[in-house]
Copies of this chain bind each other. A is one copy, B any other.
Amino acid sequence: MMLIVLGNTEVSTIPGISVAGATPELTKLTPPADAEYLFYEKPKIIDVIPVTPEGHPTPAIITKAAKELADFPVIIVRGGTYLAPLVPHMHISDAVGRDFRKGKALPEAVEIIGRARIFGEQLGRLGLKEIVIGESTPGGTTTAQAVLWALGYDAKTSSASPDNPQSLKAQVIEEGFRRTGISRGDLANKPFIALEEFGDPMMASIIGISKGFGGEIVLAGGTQMLAVAALLKAMGEEMDRFMIATTKWVVNDRSSTFRETAKEVGIIFYSADLDFSRSKFKGLRDYERGYVKEGVGAGGATWLAVKKGFTAGEVAKKVDELYERLMEMGKG
């Protein structure tokens, strides 16, 4: 079973921070549009799938491909977004993460964890052995890096852009640190404060679900999931029931510290060996050049498909088919 947790943060609208949308303003619609695309031929809240400013398609196309092949159940979770997705979804909250340069990012963090925990407990009672949790949270690598720094990790998170805006991220985070008067590592033993000050509702929701569920959890994502894992660890959770499933594009990203930070957190990871270099479409071939990389649980969905006997190559082939279907609709 796979959950996709949707989150928004105002941070995604800071120009240059996020390419998870054609414009900073459109990043607000990316989480619901991603969710809808998993269940319909195209999103409902907007007529096209989310793309980067340069037109690269959302990684939801990988999740959808794996889902169509392996037929696993997917439940959408609204951790906190501007708009509700127009598909059935587990409602946790409509709280959006605020710009942490100006004030607390998520005063609702404890409330969200409490609610998400109730949902996680129900999943635990269902007798499921394991759940896979992905996310769609534009701007989320910046909140993740802020949280990791606050907790004392010397981490660089990844980016959906080949030009990881590390100096802008650092500048935004330092501004948030100045507001709160903290330095790196000051919140190492205060994970709830780190989450409230710099986090986003996706993180709070996954923490709550994980605590309530109690069983094995696959965090399906890249460096954002390292922030979630680091928070869970600081809250006293053992890492041995957690693993990360992500893509090789994140693991091999030299602009981030995925491998080092995963080791420091003490969480194991799976890296989906997707290869789009022979795709018919430039938008997909560009994944090999560092565009997009991960999101919407793409790596974890591939992991589920591989566990069911499909190859990463079959997932990549299905992605091409889905992209072709989108192109044909565009012409029609």
Contacts and interface: CB of A to CB of B under 8 A. Distances in A.
Contact of A125 (B73, B115, B116, B119): B73
Total copies of the chain? 2
Contacts of A123: 73
A257 to B, nearest CB: 34
A130 to B, nearest CB: 12
A145 to B, nearest CB: 28
Residue among A74, A92, A126, A128 with most chain B CB within 10 A:
A126
Nearest to A85: B91
A190 to B, nearest CB: 26
Nearest to A126: B73
A71 interface: yes
- Interface core residue of A73, A88, A90, A118 (most chain B CB under 10 Å): A88
Contacts of A116: 88
A292 interface: no
A118 B39 CA distance: 8
Interface residues of A, number: 26
Nearest to A71: B125
B88 A118 contact: yes
Contacts of A124: 73
A121 B73 CA distance: 8
Contacts of A125: 1, 71-73
A115 B91 contact: no
Contacts of A121: 73
Interface of A: 1, 39, 71-75, 78, 84, 87-92, 115-116, 118-119, 121-126, 128
Given A84-B91, A126-B128, 14 more contacts: A1-B125, A39-B118, A73-B122, A73-B124, A73-B125, A73-B126, A75-B122, A78-B91, A87-B115, A88-B90, A88-B92, A88-B115, A88-B116, A89-B90
10 contacts: A1-B125, A39-B118, A73-B121, A73-B123, A73-B125, A75-B122, A78-B91, A88-B90, A88-B118, A89-B91
A-B pairs, top 5 by smallest CB distance, nearest first, are: A73-B125, A73-B122, A88-B119, A91-B91, A88-B115
